[in-house]
Structure 1
Amino acid sequence: KISAIANEYGLSVDLQTKVWQLTVGQQQRVEILKALYREVDILIMDEPTSVLTPQEVDQLFTTLRTLVDDGLTIIFITHKLDEVMQVSDRVTVLRKGKVVATILTTKTDKPSLARLMVGREVIFRLEKSRLERREKILEVNNLQALNDRGIPAIRGVSFDLFGGEILGVAGVSGNGQHELAEALTGLRKSTKGRVFLGKKDVTNSSAREMNDLNVAHIPAERIRIGVVPALSIRENLILKKYRHSPFSYGEFLDNKEIEENACRAISDYHIDAPSCETPVKLLSGGNIQKVVLARELSENPGLIVAVHPTYGLDIGATEQVRQVLLAQRERGAAT
């Protein structure tokens, strides 16, 4: 029955694979299949397209229209205004936990919705200056690696990345992007090929070694990989550098320096939290991402590996993340 549902609605996924071995996008398909299998009357979807490609989103929307035509009621929660305009009949806007408007989709537009969402005008198209190519930061030659199931996921990837350059890696979820990011940040061993950071061979270096070489990693799964949810903001901000001065001396942590660092990060990155002692698990997705950005970018890294950096963020937080990455580009970082 599950196979029939998957085929009917175009939700392809390997049903014999363990869920932890699936990508985030594939796991989302599993959640949708679970709901359809239960024959629900009301389907609540919270950011279902966060890590899907445009083609996958179009396929999902075709599925949703079929479900609505069959009489299903869908509550579609998203920060993506294009999706709101494309798929909804009616829109309710929440800001800081309060309803600020409920309007027919045909009676509004993206700028108006954005203004309602964040309480100010939002810049949809960011300007970036033309930069001269700088020194080579990263060189990847014929890189190969396996996924968690032992199947080849990266098959001979090669590219160069220069300072002041942002390289986009596109593709349908589950086609090696996740494994590539992990291979570049020391979280996954490659089976063949070489990786050079500057002129240094860093092939199969550990995550700590890549951290010590000032490589920043902004993972797609901010809760599972990017932070320790039970720890406070100030503790999460020093996860990569607590062993070093000024945050430690000998075997002891310097709490004053740690707190001052947290206060600076909260101010610089506009992290909305009661205090630096607040557990990260109590923050919104956007504020958790700001904690990750503050930690990863505080040392002015030479290389930034960012995977879906605006995943699940509202339009205001998305604007800020993009501005931060463009500022790093202007500084000369490779992303």
Structure 2
Amino acid sequence: MNASSPPPAVELHGITKRFPGVVANKDIAITVRKGTVHALIGENGAGKSTLMKILYGMQKPDEGTIAIDGEQVSFSSPGEAIVRGIGMVHQHFMLADNLTVLENVVLGGEKLYGIGAKARRKIKEISDAYGLGVRPDALVEDLGVADRQRVEILKVLYRGAKILILDEPTAVLVPQEVDALFDNLRELKAEGLTVIFISHKLGEVLKVADDITVIRRGTTVGTADPKTATTKQLAELMVGAELPSPETRESTVTDVPMLAVKGLTLAAAGAVTAEPEVLAHAALEDSPVHRKAEAGRLLLDDVTFTIHKGEILGIAGVEGNGQTELIEALMGMNPADTGVITLDGLDITKAPVRKRREGGIGYIPEDRHRHGLLLESPLWENRILGHVTEAPNSKRGILDPKAARKDTERIVREYDVRTPGIEVTASSLSGGNQQKLIVGREMSHNPKFLIAAHPTRGVDVGAQAQIWDAIREARREGLAVLLISADLDELIGLSDTLRVIYRGRLVADADPATVTPEELGTAMTGAASGHLDATDNHSADGTDAGTGSTEDEVR
């Protein structure tokens, strides 16, 4: 570094962090240049999150030094890191569901711009400047995952961050939104801000990063130049193996229906009774909040489809277009107003959640922390979740902890869940290992029908391959799968049939063998309907595809 060069934004030297039974970081060294996007990649459990928590003041290193803008620092709390201009957007969001966007953003930062009109103006200013589309008065509990992420980014910018740590920021975005985010990152960079970008999507890393650091098993194993590196080289540095592919081309689809859904309709709660001023305010933006307030708006609109034994039906859609409501209707958590659901020939439309579970429905939830795990409970208790009445968790109606523990050890072994043991809490596992535990739990009950919502969100290439293999193997044995994912390569690669959901309706279908992520992304924004490979926007019989007029229209 010559005398005229500015000091690096971040310098980490010799960072080591130990936990009982595991060394999370060992002698890590990273230099992040000011005004750049620096990608940090590595498999789950490699130590990326621990390292960023150290930089953000959430944990203290056992050894090593941190320098910000050339000055050595030691943080005891995130508050101290924020004062030095560091902001972090976590993979699992830190938002209060029962508060509005404005309340979440100003919480803890009331001294910056107050809690009223000045704060509102600042939020609007940041939202407009970076195209975040955030509405201050929206309740966070009504937001989809993508909108929650934008609130988190805004919250960090609101506090004046000059160094942004983004943990898996593209996990929930469609290609067009990813491009928009990358444009935003380039704007931030042009203004002198520094971004540390944690991701498992190696193609995106090569597209947006100026520098790349690879971490494996807690230590830095190399750096890469995105101008010359390939995804294959990065994957080999990360896990010592080639990049896995979700592609499934051998067909196992039978003509035996496993799940049949006909005419599912769900009206927004309180839609018809909303006050005029609420409706007028909500009309400002198309969001889950808007849809709830808009009179006559349907969250699910005449949804009809059939999934056969051995078939994976992929649903593509921008978050908040009815995917969550569809899952909740199929699980029985929030039954639809009208429609019929048949599982393996039995009408389960009115069946409670427990009966559906016992009847053969497996469920990988979209948010593993909120809906898939008890984070402060040990792994063997998490293995029981959702299957309390089923073997091996219970015997003759009584819980059998000994058998549950033994089976948890089997899941840990067969699904390569990296953990010191089954008595540790779920929160102590990395995100990918938490996901593998959930997949192992659900597949252990030999489901007839699996709802897989973002099954590989935030997991590394190694864990991805294992999860894909588990789903493919069960599919070969006759499992029917509803796959909902924001990863369009995953959707196209795994699915036998593809449908697009927009504003609660199935508006388009596509052949996974021929459709491109860009074509799928366009349909997800509502700009295309019908069969995506057709010359016009309608199916051959002149009806809109996806309206449920024929059961086998996409087969």
Fold agreement, TM-score > 0.5 = yes
Tell me the equivalent position of 2:495. none
Does structure 2 conserve the Cα–Cα contact (< 8 Å) formed by 1:259 and 1:276? yes
Deviation at 1:114, TM superposition (A): 0.6
Deviation of residue 278 (structure 1)?
A: 1.5
Q: Distance in 2 between matches of 1:147 and 1:181?
A: 15
* SS in structure 2 at match of 1:7: helix
The 3 A distance-change label for structure 1 pair 127 and 243 is closer
Q: Which position in structure 1 is the counterpart of 2:257?
A: 136
The one-letter code matched in structure 2 to 1:294 is G
* Residues 1:112 and 2:229 are matched in the alignment: no
For residues 188 and 350 of structure 2, the distance between their equivalents in structure 1, rounded to whole angstroms, comes to 47
Per the TM alignment, residue 259 of structure 1 is displaced from its structure 2 partner at its CA by 2.1
The alignment status of 1:234 with 2:380, answered yes or no, reads: yes
Match 1:301 to one of 447, 451, 465: 447
For structure 2, the 5+ residue unaligned runs are 1-121, 270-288, 482-555
Give the gaps of 5 or more residues in structure 1: none
Post-superposition CA distance 1:143-195 (Å, at most 9, x none): 12246764532122111111111111111111111111111112212122221
Are 2:199 and 1:53 aligned?
no
Counterpart-to-counterpart distance in 1, 2:444 and 2:265: 31
Provide the residue aligned with 2:311 in structure 1.
165
- Which residue of 2 is the match for residue 63 of structure 1? 184
* Mapped contact 2:392–2:407 kept (Cα < 8 A): no
Question: Counting helix residues as a fraction of each chain, which structure ranks higher?
Answer: 1
* Segment of structure 1 superposing worse, 154-163 or 243-252: 243-252
Which letter does structure 2 place at the counterpart of 1:266? V
Structure-2 change in CA distance of 1:242 and 1:193 (3 Å): closer
Distance of 1:67 and 1:162 partners within structure 2: 48
Give the one of 146, 152, 173 matched to 1:25: 146
Corresponding residue of 1:15: 136
- Is structure 2 residue 443 aligned with structure 1 residue 310? no
2:342 is aligned to 196
Structure 2 Cα separation of the partners of residues 193 and 266 of structure 1: 39
Range with bigger deviation, 67-76 or 6-15: 6-15
| 1:4 Cα offset (Å) | 3.0
1:289 corresponds to which residue? 435
Q: Per-residue CA shift, 1:68-108, capped at 9, x if unaligned?
A: 11111111111110110110010011122211112221231
Give the letter aligned to residue 65 of structure 1: R
TM-score by length of 2: 0.58
Q: Which has the larger radius of gyration?
A: 2
The equivalent of 1:39 in structure 2 is: 160
- Cα distance between partner residues in 2 of 1:155 and 1:190: 10
Identity value in percent: 40
Aligned counterpart for 2:328 among listed residues 159, 182, 202? 182
CA 1:82/1:324 → structure 2, altered by over 3 Å: closer, same or farther? same
Contact preservation (8 Å) 1:89, 1:104: yes
Equivalent residue pairs, number:
335
Equivalent-residue separation in structure 1 for 2:375 and 2:236 (angstroms): 31
User: Pick from 193, 203, 208: which aligns with 1:72?
Assistant: 193
The CA deviation at 1:34 is: 1.4
Q: How does the TM-score come out when normalised to structure 1?
A: 0.94
CA distance, structure 1, for counterparts of residue 253 and residue 314 of structure 2: 18
Secondary structure of the structure 1 residue equivalent to 2:421: coil
